[in-house]
Chains A and B, each alone.
Chain A
Amino acid sequence: EVQLVESGGGLIQPGGSLRLSCAASGFTVSSNYMSWVRQAPGKGLEWVSVISSGGGTYYADSVKGRFTISRDSSKNTLFLQMNSLRAEDTAVYYCSYGLLRDWGQGTLITISS
């Protein structure tokens, strides 16, 4: 059974950095696409980033140059390094496996002074 558990969320000041983790079980993180998708409070879904099985990475324009997606196969974990955070990055961040087939429960990031 595929399980995804996000962690690392919290309250952080504008301009700060944060690293999100997504611990996976039931599959290997390097076997397929792994993505981050976010949802601002009361808003719709926004795709953020993906890492392919081959290691290729893609980003939404809104986070390009500030966020970095990576994975650690030995820990079977996906990461999202988030730098230069802005108020508009406030959202629940979900990790997802495959072509967004399976989703975690999400972790809330609040950017506020």
Chain B
Amino acid sequence: DVVMTQSPLSLPVTLGQPASISCRSSQSLVHSDGNTYLNWFQQRPGQSPRRLIYKVSDRDSGVPDRFSGSGSATDFTLKISRVEAEDVGVYYCMQGTHWPWTFGQGTRVEIK
């Protein structure tokens, strides 16, 4: 199975400051169709997960443009340009290239 490793696991941030989460996969996530199925999810306290980013860098409808995804092959990053209070929660990367699909451990974002 593809192992997804996130860092850091806890991220205290100051409101208005940037934040960055790293996600590394144990093998390349480039699919035979040429796409890279790396997704990012946000889970606010007490809520269902919400997809933010798909295929590395495509933002889902309604997701603020302060969220951005980048990376390739095995190294990926989620960036929040200016953290707001509503961004508190746990963020997960997930690969949909290889079966079984697998998630990272999650990164908890909190306000300092």
Q: List residues of A (36-84) whose CB comes within 8 Å of B's CBs.
A: 37, 44-47, 50, 58-61
A101 to B63, CA, bound (A): 12
Residues on the B chain within 8 Å of A45, using CB: 41, 43, 49, 92, 94, 103, 106
Chain B residues within 8 Å of chain A by Cβ, number:
23
Q: Is B59 an interface residue (CB 8 A)?
A: no
Asked, given contacts A59-B100, A61-B1, whether A103 binds B50 with beta carbons under 8 Å apart, the answer is yes
CB–CB A61/B100 < 8 A: yes
Residues on the B chain within 8 Å of A103, using CB: 48-51
Residues 89-100 of chain B, each 1 if its beta carbon lies under 8 Å from chain A, else 0 = 010101010011
Residues on the B chain within 8 Å of A59, using CB: 100
A58 to B1, CA, bound (A): 13
Residues 72-100 of chain B, each 1 if its beta carbon lies under 8 Å from chain A, else 0 = 00000000000000000010101010011
Residues on the A chain within 8 Å of B51, using CB: 99-103
A50 to B102, CA, bound (A): 12
When the two chains form the complex, which single residue of A44, A58, A100, A104 contacts B39, counting CB atoms closer than 8 Å?
A: A100
Query: Top 6 closest A-B pairs, CB basis?
Result: A47-B101, A103-B48, A44-B106, A45-B103, A60-B100, A58-B99
- Report B's interface with A, CB cutoff 8 A: 1, 37, 39, 41, 43, 48-51, 54, 60, 90, 92, 94, 96, 99-106
